[in-house]
Amino acid sequence: MFQVILSTQWKWARLPLLLATIAAFTIPVLSVQGAGGSQIQGAMAFRVLAAMENWAVWYPLLAAAIGLLLAVTAWGPDHRQGHSYALSLPLPRWQYAMLRLGAGFVLLAAPAVGIALGSVLASATATVPLGLTAYPAALAIRFTLAAILAFSIFFAIAGGSTRTAGYVLAAMAALLIGHRLLGGGAIDIDVVGPILERLYDFRGPLGIFGGRWMLIDV
Amino acid sequence: MFDRIDPRSPTPLYEQIAGRIRVAIAAGELEGGHHLSSVRQLASTLRVNPATVVQAYRELEREGFVELRHGAGTFVRGVSEQRKKSERVRGAAQLVRGLLAEAARLGVNGEDLRTALDHELGRKVP
Amino acid sequence: MSDAIKTQGMWYRAGPDFELHDVSMSVPTGSVYGFLGPNGAGKTTTIRLLLGLHRADRGDISLLDRDVPKDMPDILQRTAYVPETPHLYPSLTVAEAVRYHGAFYKAWDESWTDELFDRFSLPPNQRISKLSKGESGKLLMLLALAQRPELLVLDEPTEGLDPIVRRDILGTLLDYVSEQGATVLISSHLVHELERICDWVGLMDQGRLISEMPMQQFKNGIKRLRIIDPPGTYDNTPFEVLAREPVNGGVPGEMILVQGWSADMAGYFSGVGASLREVVDLDLEDGFVEMLRAYRAG
């Protein structure tokens, strides 16, 4: 059973998965390009850190994106026909959902391998200035876990009825946009800020997404 | 043989099927010992409920035209010439009864019917 | 197990204007049960309730002696479903769809599947979305039969298909039924098709099951009678009078539509000073139409 579920999910997610894997490989490699130059160790270190920081934002974004895309492709075909086929199969609904979730985890191996290879290659070929260290393993693991978390959350949302999923995603978008607007304006109200801070704080459930995503760091 | 099985006819389907076989036996088309199609095959070919075929075969067995051999299938029984003749006579009577009922419905009287019958019988069948 | 499907007092509100009322149906094991009714009568809704795709508001439902919806996975292992609208994944090929489906059923028969594949001459590498209506219909029947079910629930399986494809599908279905003794519930608009293959018939109209009986009984029992000198009212009849229609011109009389007729009831008419001139058989379609008309009138 798992085999056929995996093969259908793979068929539906092939393209985004391929793109995400390539991206996961490329980002660390690109981040170490043009971070060298000066012979003065201090200046070089500064430049390397700056480059790392510039690229840092892409990791959590990619992890969230691949999580979302895998979740949408996992449930998409079922949603389109009101889950009629899935509900007529001889297994409990929760079991079916678990199989699709597991298949998603297996598929996440591809971008995980991508980032692992990319980080290792990038840190091997880069000149790491004195005082800084490369953390390819930590970055790769963190990315993979973030992708798994994103996938699980979006999977749970997408697995509900189309209407519920729509509501939840709309609420999330409104929250984020609202936070942006309120923060940017002169208004001093920040309701969303503290909530998001709690979520993104390293102790919070989305903690893995916050903080520093640095291939090379102090 | 079975190409005009009609569910719309007032005659039940099993009777239509049995009737066709009976006629074929009476006319000598089906000889004694002939192996009839299995219930499954005939039901599938005619697209009728298998129970209908079973009923038809049972009816024929009751009348002595076929025998159901357990495990082997249904076989036509050797029927005497006398029996075949009486069956043909019976078939003719049935046809005439139907014709007379139809004639009554259409307002055709016996005299006109007889004339038409003689005329048509005299004609060569193309 | 005497009934493959049994519902008792099933109620379901499908929308603001439509409700299934107190549906109590019994499909005997081994029968081919024809489910008839006009569009919008509630046949598809009833079928979906039987398969646990909707939850009834009230009532008991059991399939193969197991409880719906409690024992659903077990029931679905032994029950095959052909829906009104095909629900397979459009991006899969035929071969992939068959492999996918087969993985879920314990009784799946690989060699039987191959045989059916050839019999229906389906193109294995064609995408589901590109199949013709006929190929789609054949594929759904293939999937239903390959599962080797004890019960088949078919919602308009031959709707919109040409006669040759219909013949293939129904012939193969009957072949399986003869071999396995499976039970079939089949809903269809093609009344004459059902007339051939069904030995039970259930009539549904406006959310209610208005009649359920053996096919033979239904066809034999409903007749049009031509009566001369009819009485003012028909009292204490051994049969049920569904409708009366005066005959225009000629001898004064009327046509009455009756249910539950048998030949020995002819004596009734002389008893009320009338005479029975003719007994007209109705085929299933006419019988069904008359039954509906009578039901809606009174």
Find the farthest-apart pair of alpha carbons in chain A and give their distance in angstroms, rounded: 68
- Asked if A84 reaches chain C (Cβ–Cβ under 8 Å), the answer is yes
* Cα A59 from Cα B38, distance rounded (Å): 70
The SS3 of residue C136 is helix
Integer distance in angstroms from the first to the last C-alpha of chain A? 48
Q: Across the interface, do C178 and B43 touch by the CB < 8 Å criterion?
A: yes
* Cα A71 from Cα A152, distance rounded (Å): 8
Residues across chain C: 298
pLDDT tens sequence across C143-194: 999 999 999 999 999 988 999 999 999 999 999 998 888 999 999 877 888 8
The four Cα atoms C4, C9, C13, C17 give a dihedral, to 10 degrees, of 110
The four Cα atoms C284, C285, C291, C292 give a dihedral, to 10 degrees, of 150
Which DSSP letter does residue A128 get?
A: P
Chains that touch C (3 or more CB pairs under 8 A): A, B
| Residue with the larger pLDDT of the pair A131 and C116 | C116
* Cα C71 from Cα C61, distance rounded (Å): 11
Candidates C51, C55, C89: best to mutate against A (most CBs of A within 10 A) is C89
**A190-204 CB burial, b ≥16 within 10 A, e <16:** eebeeebeeebeeee
Mean per-residue pLDDT for A162-173? Answer: 71
Which alpha helices (DSSP H) does chain A contain, by range? 2-31, 41-56, 58-80, 84-88, 93-107, 109-125, 136-158, 162-184, 192-200
User: What residues of chain B lie within 8 A of the CB of C178, using their CB?
Assistant: 39-40, 43-44, 50
* Cα A37 from Cα C222, distance rounded (Å): 99
| Residue with the larger pLDDT of the pair B27 and A21 | A21
Evaluate if residue C232 carries a pLDDT over 60.
Answer: yes
The SS3 of residue B87 is helix
Q: Are strands C19-23 and B73-76 parallel, antiparallel or unpaired?
A: unpaired
What type of residue sits at position C54? H
**Residue A198 pLDDT class (50, 70, 90 cuts):** low
Q: Across the interface, do C51 and A12 touch by the CB < 8 Å criterion?
A: no
Q: Which of residues 7-26 of A touch C (CB under 8 A)?
A: 7-8, 11-12
**Residue B103 pLDDT class (50, 70, 90 cuts):** confident
Report cis status (omega within 30 of 0) of the bond before C16. Answer: no
- Asked if C277 reaches chain B (Cβ–Cβ under 8 Å), the answer is no
Q: Across the interface, do C83 and A11 touch by the CB < 8 Å criterion?
A: no
The pLDDT value given to residue C204: 92
Single pTM value for the model? 0.82
**A42-55 CB burial, b ≥16 within 10 A, e <16:** eebbebbbebbeeb
C225: closest CA of chain A, how far (Å): 47
User: What crossing angle do the helices spanning C133-146 and C94-102 adopt, rounded to 10°?
Assistant: 20
